[in-house]
Amino acid sequence: MLEVQSIRVAYGAATALWDVSLEVGAGELLCVVGPNSAGKTTLINAIAGLNRISAGKLVFDGKDISRLSSHRFCAAGIALVPEGRRLFTEMTVRENLELGSYISAAKAHRADSLERVCHLFPALVPKLEDPAGSLSGGQQQMVAIGRALMAKPRLLLLDEPSLGLAPSIVLDMFRVIRDIHSEGMAVLLVEQNVTMALQVAQRAAVLEEGRIVATGTPDELLARPELRRAYLGLDAEEAVQA
């Protein structure tokens, strides 16, 4: 469904991503893990159309979307749950959700989608008319995911959904992500919380300093040293002891 072919993305004067390639199949849940400053957010933003790629190609559903303007990615079928939520804080929860279905294809199903989001996140129902900025971190994350679902995407992008959230809320979040995926949505998840990410992923890739250094199933990756070294700087021996 999504093919990232050897993309290179700049971040200001620096190159953040060097020659990154990966694939997400229809209905698949791919996790990209890696330490901070590895380039995870840059990668997701490039796929969502927020960052321009300076080399390589993005192909979605067979169409080359590399040169599309930012505001056309949503209509192509890609929705983003950004890092740090980035809700429209001055607007109400309901308005945030409605804006998720701004594109005409999604607008037609707005009422149904809204109902579905409320069903998925019952805690939001009493908060619908409150300003989004007044919600707790966990609730905001729910709104952010809901907003993306309202766009009726075929590929859902999640950028570090566990960031800044209390551990029990992270638990709930990942359960929801697992549920959404089980309904057939293709998901690309970028995460710092490796252990939990690998528990929901079907396949995963490790991003370190702007390059993919390993890919495979979660079990395969856990057995390899790249993960431990990338995060903890420990070489093979110490990693085994840890």
Closest separation in Å from C-beta 220 to another protein: 16
Which of positions 3-32 make contact with another protein (CB under 8 A)?
A: 11-16
Closest separation in Å from C-beta 223 to another protein: 14
**In 3-state terms, what secondary structure has residue 178?**
helix
**Tokens (6 digits) for 187:** 């998901």
Q: Residue 106 — left, alpha, or beta (φ > 0 → left; ψ -120 to 50 → alpha)?
A: alpha
CB-wise, 120 or 163, nearer to another protein? 163
CB-wise, 15 or 21, nearer to another protein? 15
> Distance between CA atoms of 99 and 69, rounded to whole angstroms?
19
> Distance between CA atoms of 67 and 64, rounded to whole angstroms?
8
**Tokens (6 digits) for 48:** 């969502």
- Residue 35 as a binder of another protein (CB under 8 A): the answer is yes
> Count of residues binding another protein (CB under 8 A)?
69
- Residue 100 as a binder of another protein (CB under 8 A): the answer is yes
| Interface residue with another protein, options 119, 183, 223, 242 (CB under 8 A) | 242
Query: How long is the chain?
Result: 242
| Interface residue with another protein, options 1, 74, 135, 201 (CB under 8 A) | 74
Across the strands, what pairs with 79? 156
Across the strands, what pairs with 5? 57
Give the DSSP H/E element, type plus range, for residue 226. Answer: helix 225-232
- Residue 223 as a binder of another protein (CB under 8 A): the answer is no
**List of residues 6+ apart from 154 with CB closer than 8 A:** 1, 26, 61, 77, 78, 185, 186
| Interface residue with another protein, options 17, 196, 201, 214 (CB under 8 A) | 196
Which of positions 147-176 make contact with another protein (CB under 8 A)?
A: 147, 151, 160, 162-164, 167-168, 171, 174-175
Give the DSSP H/E element, type plus range, for residue 171. Answer: helix 167-182
Residues lying near another protein in the complex (CB under 8 A) are found at 11-16, 35-37, 48-50, 69-75, 79-80, 82, 86, 88-91, 95, 98-100, 102-103, 107, 147, 151, 160, 162-164, 167-168, 171, 174-175, 191-197, 199, 208-209, 225, 227, 229-238, 241-242
